[in-house]
Amino acid sequence: MTARSAPTLTILITGLLAAAIALGSSLWQQNRLASSASDFSLQLLQEVLGEGQVASLVAQAHPQFLSNMPAESLRSYIGNISNRLGPLQQLSSIRGGIERSLFSFAANGTTAAYSVEMQFANDAAAETWIELAHNGQHWQVSAFRVESQLLYD
């Protein structure tokens, strides 16, 4: 090896090492965000549909979501669900995940979407869709919908 190629090789190895560290960091952050999003969704659904804490949904709502469905409309919507389906008995399954660029180092712009199957007291099955946006600090609800045949009868 010549004296001239040694610095080039060192720079190349350093660059590859930096890229590997950046990729590992991005994957770690993506896994952490995915876990926090699903945990947030399940906890919020339990609070809102299981314990009737509509204020939790309002407090965690994205401003754009609240402009489309004001707090009073959300309270009425959740009240209608509770009246028709009864209290939440069980969260059966959750499907979905987060979306973000693999090489994005900031959590801003990260979104998540989940579909959760549920069982309510009035022997009613329902599916809930919840969409989240991460504002860099925490998750906010950007969409929320519950579908069950009993809501349409």
Residue 91 near residue 116, CB atoms below 8 Å:
yes
Assessment of whether the complete model's pTM goes beyond 0.85: no
Q: What is the pLDDT of residues 55-87, one digit of tens each?
A: 999 999 999 999 999 999 999 999 999 999 998
pLDDT reported for residue 146: 96
If DSSP codes are grouped into helix, strand and coil, which group holds residue 44? helix
Q: What's the rounded Cα separation, in Å, for the pair 145 and 131?
A: 9
Mean pLDDT, range 42-64, rounded to an integer: 94
Q: From residue 48, give the alpha-carbon distance in Å to each of 28, 75, 85, 87.
A: 30, 10, 13, 10
Q: What's the rounded Cα separation, in Å, for the pair 107 and 153?
A: 41
- Is pLDDT above 60 for 103? no
